[in-house]
Amino acid sequence: MRGAYLKLFAICLVSAPAVVQAGYVQLPGLEVPSSAAADRDSVVRIFSQSYNAYRSVAFGHDEVAPVSQKPLDPRNGWGATIVDAMSTMYIMNLTDFFEEALNFTQTIDFTESKTSGTVSIFESTIRYLGGLISAYELSGKQHSFLIDKAKQLADRLSLGWSRGNTIPFGFVDFSTNQPIIQTSNIAEAGTLTLEWSRLSEYTGNDTYRKLAEGSVLKIASNVTYLYPGLPGQGIDPATGNPVGGYVTWGGGSDSYFEYLIKYAQLSNTNNNVFADSWLTAVDSSIKTLVKTSTIGNHVYLADFDDQRLIRHVGSHLACFYAGNWLLGGKLTNNDTIVNLALQLNDACWNTYAGDATKIGPEVFAYISSDGNFTGDSNPSDDQIAFYQEHGYYITDAVYVQRPEVLESNFYAWRVTGDPVYLQRAQSAVASFQTFLSTPTGFTGIYDVNNPQTEKIDETESFWFAEVLKYLYLTFDDPSHISLDDYVFNTEAHPLLAPKAESTYGSGQLIPSTTNKFVLRPGPLPAVSPLSLGLNLNLGLL
């Protein structure tokens, strides 16, 4: 996600950090110790090796399969790794890679899919639109073709709204120019505002912003269906109505919540609904979802399902919540939220610290004084033994190069300046070098608790966009891509932020009018699987 330091420095001067401002996010005057330079260099080496592994066999395709040495095209074949990696290249000053990527980007034709697959509005927005717009800003707004390409793609994606609907359908068939008529979720429908509003600014066409905002406002207007501020995961674009009531900060819902506060920061909009909805979601979550494990007192956000059952589960995806609560807690000057966020962050890191590889699993679970219901079977004897030792147990042991735990760790470092977060990032780098490296690049693993684990044959584009960027910036001069100057999209593409407001929101939470459901704590008898099947592991960012 970024080019030369010199140019970047000029950008930073233009948007001077908002020091002595009530709403500043970063600890003022924070510096990294001189030893961090070596850690930063290690991350650049991992990036270069991973990217060269992609370049040598898969350049122009979406991803590389680094074990079998083949190209993969899960993102419509437009070169997802290149576009997703550009902002990181710029930030790492990898100018040759960046130049090459600029050259390639000019040749992408976003008007048709290069694969038979339909096109995801959400995935294309966060990776392609986010990557292009961020590269445009970081490189000094000189390469206007980056915006032309983003516009070319967005004009096609806007077919997702072509049935008079306010919530976009999740997928568009570019060969028929029709949306795919099916249920969506609040993450897919609610994670577009940052990118689409920026595109409106740079193209002068306000339609993009209106489409993205309209979708979020519709979701937020349905908040009273469950707890205020906590809409269920499923949503029907045809009607705008909720589908089921599964509430989670994890996949399928996650970045809807994430963007509420980030959009308030990016836009400084006068419309308080965004910040108020975020604060209400956090407030309701504190009242209903914050739980503590019986071993280790680890603090996590549980889910609750369609049957109002609390599920004591956690996931790598959901762990973005710690960084997001840190950001929002600072922007709204709320120490209660900041302090809880630091506890959530510790618990997420604990899911790395307890595993044999010191890398965290995809899905895990807890036992709390409030119960142990996970929606699944009771823990096995092995899981209970693991829980007794570590205060969580693993229910899906893969690591697919996700960023969220290290993303939150990055926020914790920039907000508090506590060196423990640098040590955690160092630990992760060492584990990645040991367990994720292939003869050419870096990849995922099937079992984080087994040092002899098999490798997954796919290098995700968000390894470049997110994991390596957050690690690099953790070790870099904190004034570089400061959280007071940039807002990161959910794919870690930084977008220029305006000077912060003194606070965000109206000061009033959104009231509950139909809060008629009473949560039932576990332990409980086994229930049948979700009627709507929405609690899928959707693999969202």
Ligand X SMILES: *[C@@H]1O[C@H](CO)[C@@H](O)[C@H](O)[C@H]1NC(C)=O
Q: Which of 367, 415, 538, 541 binds ligand X (CB under 6 A)?
A: 367
Q: Which of 62, 188, 254, 466 is catalytic?
A: 254
Which residue carries 């980007």 as its tokens? 105
Q: Which is nearer to ligand X, 370 or 457 (CB)?
A: 370
Residue 495, beta-bridge partner list:
487
Q: What does the DSSP assignment read for 104-172? A: HHTT--TTS-SSSS-EEHHHIIIIIIHHHHHHHHHTTT--THHHHHHHHHHHHHGGGGTTS-SSPPSEE
Rounded to the nearest 5°, which phi and psi values hold at 169? -65, 150
Question: Across the chain, how many H-helices and E-strands are there?
Answer: 19, 17
Q: Which residue has the tokens 């003869």?
A: 439
Residue from 12, 60, 74, 155 that binds ligand X (CB under 6 A)?
A: 155
Residue 225 is a binding residue for ligand X (CB under 6 A): yes
Least Å from the CB of residue 253 to ligand X: 16
| Active-site hit among 303, 355, 404, 491 | 404
- Tell whether 490 is in a known binding site: yes
491 given a catalytic annotation? no
44 lines the binding site for ligand X (CB under 6 A): no
The three-state secondary structure class of 242 is: strand
- The C-alpha atoms of residue 384 and residue 394 are separated, in whole angstroms, by 10
Active site residue 213: no
CB of 507 to ligand X, least distance (A): 8
Question: Contact, 265 vs 225, CB < 8 A?
Answer: no
Q: DSSP secondary structure string, 64-117?
A: EETTTTEEE-TTTTS-HHHHHHHHHHHHTT-HHHHHHHHHHHTT--TTS-SSSS
Annotated catalytic residue 362: yes
**Both tokens of residue 75?**
């993102």
Site string for ligand X, 258-287 (x = CB under 6 A): ------------------------xx--x-
Q: What is the SS3 assignment for 217? A: helix
Residue 14: how many other CB atoms lie within 10 Å: 8
**What six digits make up the tokens of 327?**
């950001």
The answer to the question of residue 290 lying near ligand X (CB under 6 A) is no
- Cβ neighbours of 197 (radius 10 Å): 21
123 is catalytic: yes
Residue number, 21 or 222, with CB nearest to ligand X:
222
Q: CB nearer to ligand X: give 455 or 480.
A: 480
Q: Which one of 13, 14, 96, 377 is in contact with ligand X (CB under 6 A)?
A: 96
Q: Which of 62, 73, 123, 306 is catalytic?
A: 123
Interface mask toward ligand X for 378-397; x: CB under 6 A: xx----x-------------
Nearest to 191 by CA among 280, 258, 119, 237: 258
Site for ligand X in 304-343 (CB under 6 A): 334, 336-337
| H-type alpha helices, 170-289 | 186-190, 193-203, 207-221, 254-267, 273-288
Comparing CB distances to ligand X, the nearer of 132 and 436 is 132
Judged by CB under 6 A, the residue of 52, 115, 222, 307 near ligand X is 222
Give the pair of three-digit tokens for residue 206.
């306000």
Binding mask 178-217 for ligand X (x = CB under 6 A): ---------------------------x-x----------
Given candidates 498, 511, 523, 539, which one binds ligand X under the rule CB under 6 A? 523
Residue 378 is encoded by which pair of tokens?
């009771």
Q: How many CB atoms lie within 10 A of CB 69?
A: 16
Q: Minimum CB separation from ligand X for residue 358, in Å? A: 25
Q: Which H or E run contains 437? A: none
Residue closer to ligand X, measured from CB, 167 or 317: 167
The CB-of-402 to ligand X minimum distance in angstroms stands at 27
Find the part of the chain contacting ligand X (CB under 6 A) among 26-34, 90-98, 311-319, 528-536: 90-98
CB of 488 to ligand X, least distance (A): 21
Q: Is 99 in the site for ligand X (CB under 6 A)?
A: yes
Residues found near ligand X in the complex (CB under 6 A): 4-5, 93, 95-96, 99-100, 103, 155, 158, 205, 207, 218, 221-222, 225, 240-242, 282-283, 286, 334, 336-337, 367, 372, 378-379, 384, 523
- Binding site for Ca(2+): which residues? 490
List active site positions: 123, 254, 362, 404
- Binding site: which residues? 490
